[in-house]
């Protein structure tokens, strides 16, 4: 399965492509950053991001596009641009009938390191280790996109292909599943369900 990970951003949108093979063996395919000029209007910047993402999807024909789930930050302008870039990635995938997965930064950290509060350098090192890369991907947006793809490949039992069950999960995957379940429970309680 080919997974295209996206770390959405309006100035730099990270794109990482991996292959998840038999026994969850992960292989590096591609990493890049789609850039837009901050001196142009926002509509043209979004068009640049969209066109760049479309080109990557056309080139690599992923089975799934995994995108960082946008969460509230203190800087409203940053979160707005990030959400719009994520929307461009979702649109590009939806137009081609490619399933989209959304994973929070905490889910990604848990899947990659087993620690939902891991530092960025820890994520970068684990991405390089998991994919057998000689150097860490740069810039950070590129490493984050690969981490997003890896997170999706290591998702817990219910979403695994081939009927694999929970006994085959790694410790990090079990922690990921537990954190995801707890977050969904909290969300349901918050919404009064």
| Residue of 37, 63, 74, 141 marked active site | 141
Active site residue 141: yes
32 is in an annotated binding site: no
- Written in H, E and C, the secondary structure of 3-44 is EEEEECCCCEEEEEEEEECHHHCEEEEEEEEEECCCCCCHHH
166 is in an annotated binding site: no
| Residue of 7, 107, 124, 144 marked active site | 7
Q: How many residues does the chain have?
A: 193
Active site residue 68: yes
**Going edge to edge, which strands form the sheet with 26-35?**
26-35, 12-20, 2-7, 64-68, 100-103
The H or E element spanning position 45 is helix 42-60
Active site residue 32: no
Residue 49 is given by DSSP the state H
* Cβ proximity of 104 and 69 under 8 Å: yes
| Residue of 19, 32, 58, 68 marked active site | 68
- DSSP per-residue letters across 97-131: T--EEEE-HHHHHHHHHS-TT--HHHHHHHHHHHT
Residue 11, φ and ψ in degrees, nearest 5? -85, -45
68 is in an annotated binding site: yes
Which residues participate in the annotated binding site for Mg(2+)? 7, 68, 141
- The catalytic residue positions are 7, 68, 141
Binding site: what residues are annotated?
A: 7, 68, 141
């Amino acid at each position: 399965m080919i997974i295209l990970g996206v770390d959405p951003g309006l100035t730099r949108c990270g794109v990482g492509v991996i292959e998840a093979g038999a026994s969850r063996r992960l292989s590096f395919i591609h990493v890049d950053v789609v850039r837009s000029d901050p001196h142009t209007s926002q509509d043209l910047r979004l068009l640049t991001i969209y066109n760049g993402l479309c080109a990557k999807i056309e080139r690599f024909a992923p089975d799934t596009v995994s995108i960082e789930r946008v969460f509230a930050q203190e800087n409203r302008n940053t979160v707005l641009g990030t959400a719009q870039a994520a929307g461009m990635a979702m649109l590009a995938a939806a137009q081609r009938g490619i399933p989209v997965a959304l994973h929070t930064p905490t889910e990604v950290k848990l899947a990659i390191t087993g620690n939902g509060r891991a530092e960025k350098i820890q994520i970068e090192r684990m991405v390089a280790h998991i994919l057998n890369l000689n150097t860490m991907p740069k810039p950070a947006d590129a490493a984050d996109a690969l981490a997003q793809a890896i997170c999706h490949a290591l998702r817990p039992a219910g979403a695994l292909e081939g009927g694999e069950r929970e006994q085959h999960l790694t410790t990090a995957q079990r922690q990921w599943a537990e954190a995801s379940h707890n977050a969904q429970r909290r969300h349901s309680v918050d919404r009064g369900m």
